[in-house]
């Protein structure tokens, strides 16, 4: 009977690993469950950290599963009675110090990733002077939609030629883009899986996120902070376009959103 239990416990690391590998390859029925392809120049560090942590936890997961199964496997030549063990200082110190060491290592190792994604906003050179890339879009989250405000022809926010598009935002390819994000009501979180960008939004605060998309396409934006009954359908589309296409889109959208006349005779 002991062998059965031992093998059953061994199934946990085996099935767990299988499931993850299956999802990574995206075979049916687990297609689309793994992270989508990264299209953000700055997203590589996030993926690297993610994979590193996955490897560390994966090895520990498989190792502990195997050890558990091994200790349950009956000894050769007869049944062994269970023994009651009370404490083992050396062991306890080992399993406290090793994870602590890993945590300390990770927290130091990731410092640059945090800085690149949350602190060092991209810089551009205008008229020979360095300055931070200004936000090109103001993202305002509300229950249960994403509104994208554009500064309009004058390039400045909070002027009369600002305009707003709900549910869809366009950005140019291969350019550093900065979004200023705010909430108009409750807590939300701005998440673009394909860009590896995620930022919680607190009402009354504004935050900046930045990215540089390197592949044209339509990507999903989701809210990842439970914000009310409609949270599940609070989404939008991020469309990355070639620079020329983006310029055309911006021009058309500006004209449409700032329409100052309408004639219905066709």
Partner 1 sequence: MRYTGSLLLTLIVCVAGCTPPPEFRQNAVEVKKLELQTLGEEEQFAAGQLEDIGSFLTAAFGTPDEPDFPGLVEDDPEVNLVTQEHLVSAAGPVASLEDGEAQGLYREHCVHCHGISGDGSGPTSAFLNPYPRDFRLGKFKYKSTPLNVPPTQEDLRRILKNGIPNTAMPSFRRLPDEEIDALVDYVKYLTIRGRTERDLLSILAEDPDPALDFIASEEQFEAADEAIEAAVESGDEEPYPPLFGPNDVVDEVVFPQVDQWFEAVDSMTEVPQRPVELSPGHPDRDMWIARGKDLFFSTGACVQCHGKLALGDGQVDDYDDWTKDWMKTLGIDPAETERINEFVGLGAMPPRNLIPRNLRLGNYRGGSRPVDLYLRIKNGIEGTPMPAAAVSLTSDDIWSLVEYVRQLPNESLSQPAVQQPVNERAPR
Q: Is 145 in the site for partner 1 (CB under 8 A)?
A: yes
Q: How far apart (Å, rounded) are the C-alpha atoms in residues 175 and 122?
A: 10
Q: Are 188 and 141 in contact (CB under 8 A)?
A: yes
Q: Is 159 in the site for partner 1 (CB under 8 A)?
A: yes
Nearest CB to partner 1, comparing residues 101 and 230: 230
Rule CB under 8 A: choose which of 22, 50, 73, 163 binds partner 1.
163
The angle, 0 to 180 degrees and rounded to 10, between the axes of the packed helices 89-109 and 44-72 is 170
Rule CB under 8 A: choose which of 37, 92, 154, 252 binds partner 1.
154
**Dmax over Cα atoms in the chain, in whole Å?**
97
> How many residues bind to partner 1 according to rule CB under 8 A?
48
Q: Which of helix, strand or coil describes residue 234? A: coil
Q: CB 162 → partner 1: shortest distance, Å?
A: 8
Q: What is the DSSP letter of 38?
A: P
Q: How far apart (Å, rounded) are the C-alpha atoms in residues 184 and 148?
A: 12
Q: Which of helix, strand or coil describes residue 241? A: strand
**How many Cβ atoms sit within 10 Å of the Cβ of residue 116?**
16
Rule CB under 8 A: choose which of 206, 215, 238, 249 binds partner 1.
206
Q: Is 63 in the site for partner 1 (CB under 8 A)?
A: no
Q: Is 147 in the site for partner 1 (CB under 8 A)?
A: yes
Q: Is 28 in the site for partner 1 (CB under 8 A)?
A: no
Q: Is 128 in the site for partner 1 (CB under 8 A)?
A: no
Q: Is 239 in the site for partner 1 (CB under 8 A)?
A: no
Strands 197-201, 163-166: pairing is unpaired
Q: Is 257 in the site for partner 1 (CB under 8 A)?
A: yes
Give the x-and-dash track for 86-125 against partner 1 (CB under 8 A).
--------------------------------xxxx-x--
Q: What is the DSSP letter of 193?
A: G
Q: How far apart (Å, rounded) are the C-alpha atoms in residues 160 and 253?
A: 16
Report residue 92 CA to chain centroid gap.
Answer: 35
Q: Is 259 in the site for partner 1 (CB under 8 A)?
A: yes
Q: Is 226 in the site for partner 1 (CB under 8 A)?
A: no
Judged by the rule CB under 8 A, the positions of this chain that interact with partner 1 are 118-121, 123, 130-132, 142-145, 147, 153-154, 158-161, 163-164, 166-168, 180, 182, 204-208, 229-230, 233-237, 256-265
């Amino acid at each position: 009977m002991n062998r059965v239990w031992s093998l059953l416990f061994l199934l946990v690391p085996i099935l767990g690993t299988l499931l993850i590998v299956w999802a990574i390859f995206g075979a049916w029925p687990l297609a689309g469950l793994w992270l989508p392809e990264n299209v953000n120049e700055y997203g590589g560090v996030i993926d690297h950290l993610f994979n590193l942590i996955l490897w560390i936890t994966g090895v520990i997961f498989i190792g502990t599963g195997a050890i558990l199964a091994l200790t349950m496997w009956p000894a050769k030549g007869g049944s062994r009675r269970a023994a009651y063990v009370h404490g083992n200082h050396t062991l306890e110190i080992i399993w406290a110090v090793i994870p602590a060491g890993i945590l300390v290592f990770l927290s130091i190792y990731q410092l640059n990733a945090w800085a690149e994604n949350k602190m060092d906003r991209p810089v551009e050179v205008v008229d020979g002077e360095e300055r931070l890339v200004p936000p090109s879009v103001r993202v305002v989250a509300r229950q249960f939609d994403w509104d994208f405000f554009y500064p309009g022809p004058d390039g400045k926010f909070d002027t009369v030629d600002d305009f707003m598009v709900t549910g869809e935002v366009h950005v140019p390819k291969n350019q550093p883009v900065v979004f200023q994000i705010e909430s108009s009501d409750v807590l939300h979180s701005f998440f673009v899986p394909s860009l590896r960008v995620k930022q919680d939004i607190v009402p009354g605060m504004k935050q900046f996120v930045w990215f540089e998309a390197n592949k044209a396409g339509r990507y999903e934006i989701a809210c990842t902070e439970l914000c009310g009954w409609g949270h599940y359908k609070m989404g939008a589309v991020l469309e990355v376009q070639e620079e020329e296409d983006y310029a055309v889109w911006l021009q058309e959208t500006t004209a449409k959103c700032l329409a100052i006349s309408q004639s219905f005779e066709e």
